[in-house]
């Protein structure tokens, strides 16, 4: 299915207060504008070594290159669609973000399986499914695939803007607290951009149906804050871009306070410790670790309902690396795990029964989340095109 943005003029985005999409926002009329030019996004289906490194046991008896060959043969319709529509998707993303992209090209590593819905840095898109252990969860297809890749690109755009800056915004926007890495902040702004892009390309009804799917209910941990504070409050248009909303949102606003991430527990609060007699009830990671005489850090207990258990950690696992760094003390292990966790996932290399494995610790906000106050009225600000 080919998608295109209508060439006709955009309607006045000021809506009736009773409109179910959200409260009226007093933007002025927006004249149609050509789409900005963004980076060329290429698909790479040759990363067999990366695919194999993610599942060493699985690929001990089969070739990762064969799985990528399978994608090249059987996923051609989606690949053809992407190359026909990528400029429209990227241009609409940049237009609604109000932020320019410094990169000239981007490479999306397309894999058959990945332990999560994908990665934005580096860009990794699983097309076969989300695979954790023996369970493979099918990723969205059809229009859902467009939503999926747009979300990864939106996260990458916001990450690059914070990291490298953007000629179209000032540091007041680039350094805004809402752009800090967090499922409640940057990831939710990426979701807002994704929904705005898909609204304009495939319509509101189709976009909302994808967003309400079981897949995104599972993999959008900041959902409560998103729906209560952003979804129908910040309506993105060419005249009211994400950069524009951020430019008028005070750093100490109610929205910023309400999206503060859960406070990171300290060692004393037993997130992870020297050798706990029992698993900490309120621990984010849900693991207990002991340090052996040779300095090795070994898992001694796991709460299967929390992050460590969901990632596949088991008693007896020895930590080797966390995001490429070797932890030598409990303090280093805490810092490495939670830094990766805060940035979307911690990649952990463990040794189990003499063999190394790679696991991923993803955010799962099981405990109390930031409060969601009653949704604020959309703020007034002038037409940003003027």
Convert the pLDDT of each residue in 35-61 to its tens digit.
Answer: 778 899 999 999 999 999 889 889 999
Q: Is 72 in contact with 216 (CB distance < 8 Å)?
A: no
What pLDDT is attached to residue 28?
A: 33
Q: Which residues pair with 319 in a beta bridge?
A: 350
In a domain, 146, yes or no: yes
Shared domain check, 95 and 202: yes
Residues in the chain with pLDDT values less than 50: 1-32, 265-282, 365-386
Instruction: Provide the number of structural domains found in the chain.
Output: 2
Angle between helices 143-164 and 186-202 in degrees, nearest 10: 140
* Each residue's pLDDT tens digit, 323-351: 888 988 888 888 888 887 766 678 889 99
Shared domain check, 331 and 225: no
Shared domain check, 161 and 305: no
What pLDDT is attached to residue 278?
A: 36
266 three-class SS? coil
What pLDDT is attached to residue 204?
A: 93
What pLDDT is attached to residue 262?
A: 56
In a domain, 346, yes or no: yes
Longest CA span, the chain: 72
Q: What is the DSSP string of 3-60?
A: -----SPPPP----TT-TT-----PPP----PPPP--EEEEE---HHHHHHH-TTGGG
Phi/psi of residue 209, each to 5°?
-65, -40
Shared domain check, 177 and 99: yes
Shared domain check, 284 and 214: no
Question: Which helix H or strand E contains 137, and what residues bound it?
Answer: strand 135-137
The torsion region of residue 114 among left (phi > 0), alpha (psi -120 to 50) and beta comes to beta
What pLDDT is attached to residue 92?
A: 95
Shared domain check, 307 and 278: yes
Shared domain check, 274 and 229: no
CA distance 95 to 89: 10
CA distance 178 to 188: 9
In a domain, 166, yes or no: yes
Q: What share of the chain is helix, strand, coil (3-state, %, to 5)?
A: 35, 15, 45
* Strand ranges inside 155-251, DSSP E: none
CA distance 367 to 376: 25
For residue 243, the enclosing domain spans 40-258
Shared domain check, 209 and 66: yes
């Amino acid at each position: 299915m080919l998608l295109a943005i209508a060439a006709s003029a955009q309607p006045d985005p000021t809506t009736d207060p009773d409109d179910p999409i959200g409260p009226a926002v007093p933007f002025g009329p927006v004249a149609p504008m050509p789409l900005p030019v963004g980076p060329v996004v290429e698909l790479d289906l040759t990363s067999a070594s990366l695919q194999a490194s993610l599942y060493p046991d699985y690929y001990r008896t089969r070739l990762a290159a064969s799985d990528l060959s399978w994608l090249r043969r059987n996923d051609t319709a989606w690949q053809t669609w992407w190359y026909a529509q990528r400029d429209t998707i990227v241009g609409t993303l940049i237009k609604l973000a109000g932020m320019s992209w410094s990169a000239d090209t981007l490479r999306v590593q397309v894999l058959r399986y990945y332990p999560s819905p994908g990665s934005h840095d580096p860009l990794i898109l699983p097309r076969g499914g989300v695979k954790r252990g023996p369970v493979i969860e099918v990723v969205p297809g059809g229009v859902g695939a467009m939503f999926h890749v747009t979300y990864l690109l939106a996260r990458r755009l916001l990450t690059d803007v914070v990291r490298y800056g953007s000629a179209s915004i000032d540091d007041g926007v680039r350094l805004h607290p809402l752009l800090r890495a967090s499922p409640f902040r940057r990831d939710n702004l990426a979701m807002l951009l994704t929904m705005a892009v898909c609204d304009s390309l495939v319509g509101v009804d189709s976009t909302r149906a994808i967003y309400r799917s079981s897949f995104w209910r599972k993999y959008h941990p900041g959902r409560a804050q998103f729906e209560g504070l952003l979804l129908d409050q910040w309506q993105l248009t060419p005249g009211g871009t994400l950069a524009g909303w951020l430019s008028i949102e005070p750093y100490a606003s109610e929205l910023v306070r309400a999206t503060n991430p859960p406070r990171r527990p300290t060692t004393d609060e037993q997130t992870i410790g020297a050798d706990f007699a029992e698993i900490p009830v309120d621990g984010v990671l849900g693991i207990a670790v002991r340090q052996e005489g040779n300095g090795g850090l070994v898992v001694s207990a796991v709460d299967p309902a929390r992050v460590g258990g969901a990632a596949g950690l088991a008693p007896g696992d020895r930590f080797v690396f966390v995001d490429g760094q070797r932890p030598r003390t409990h303090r280093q292990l805490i810092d490495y795990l939670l830094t990766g966790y805060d940035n979307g996932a911690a990649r952990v290399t463990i040794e189990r029964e003499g063999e190394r494995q790679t696991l991923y610790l993803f955010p799962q906000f099981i405990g109390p989340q930031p409060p969601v106050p009653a949704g604020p009225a959309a703020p007034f600000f002038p037409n940003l095109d003027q």
